[in-house]
Chains A and B, each alone.
Chain A
Amino acid sequence: MSQTPMRDVDPDQMTISDEIAIEIIRMNKWFGSFHVLRDIDLAVHRGERIVIAGPSGSGKSTLIRCINRLEEHQNGRIVVDGIELTSDIKNIDKVRSEVGMVFQHFNLFPHLTVLENCTLAPIWVRRTPRRQAEDVAMHFLEKVRIPEQAGKYPGQLSGGQQQRVAIARSLCMQPRIMLFDEPTSALDPEMIKEVLDTMIELAEDGMTMLCVTHEMGFAQAVANRVIFMDQGQIVEQNNPHDFFNNPRSERTKLFLSQILGH
């Protein structure tokens, strides 16, 4: 795995509180008869930066998609910010407006300008007045360093710029938790850095983050916990230092040797 150069970070600066942001208890999920997630237990504290790694098909994307119920779990409990995810649509919408998500393929709305992408949810979900929503949007577009693109359409931007807009769009809802589903996998190597830098800044601001990624450099620099998944279950979790230097399970060792080996 190529290690993308990133700016220096000091993980110790980022504080983690005792408050629990996400609690997943013995959660199981099936796609048809295929058991994708098996007995997942996970507690995420506020301010934690968790990187989820694992081979493809191990269920890591499905896991974070369960947290904002893009996927429905069949048993077990998921509690986000004190709200349990059930089929109650009100709770789901409430959780979704508190949890931001960034996708592998950006999923920007191509028929709206960058600014409109960012103000849409605040205006229609939070009922923020348009002017105020635009101010907030410009603030976050500046934060991801593309305020000058506000009037353009997503199709006119590069992949890295689009992904940064997608991050800004999520931030405009002022979420307390951010989920990243392979945010750099669809990007050219030169654009990965700009997205990772944005994510690091976010981590420094104390955002609770769950990130599915193959960027092990990012995991080492930013994460306070790395979770390794295989066959729908959590195989190993540890702090990044021990995870990379002293992996305990054979499966983890094999995985690490394959992605770091060359």
Chain B
Amino acid sequence: QRSFSSPREYRGRSEAGRALGPEEEERALHGGKMSETYDFLFKFLVIGSAGTGKSCLLHQFIESKFKQDSNHTIGVEFGSRIVNVAGKSVKLQIWDTAGQERFRSVTRSYYRGAAGALLVYDIASRETYNSLTNWLTDARTLASPNIIIILCGNKKDLDADREVTFLEASRFAQENELMFLETSALTGENVEEAFLKCARTILNKIDSGK
């Protein structure tokens, strides 16, 4: 049994139910900065194999431009943005993780309490598509079985080098109860939509009391 009225912080099933003190509530609502107010706070993960464009998706979503010339991510990085979803202001706190297999031992500890996730592969790399199942298992076992996940086939702009068809990936998404979009962090196509879709679904779930 969960209640999200006050503070309205939805962090998935695993952390729900803990009452926050007034100070903590203050922080949850204002994110440490007094100017910032929002109705909900969702923790999001961006996961997937190395070089699929996770950091670029995050950067495009937050800065509305393509991140050129950036180092590969070591460990974890953060970003956040307040968005309007169905008349509610929702703060997305996004955790961007390193993609190499062996880093999972490090990044797994950050999954706890995540309400949503972008599961990213590169449409021009079958290898990154093939490892989706592992990422999915991790997300469902370590964050929450009810975590809302959107599958993102990134680098949509590289259609000429495509190794994974839209149809194949959408079937995979259906079988695994994932939402699905093909995105391009380079052009910005569907990037905003991916985050918003995920947030909307979580909000619906809260409203319907599931």
Does B bind A? no
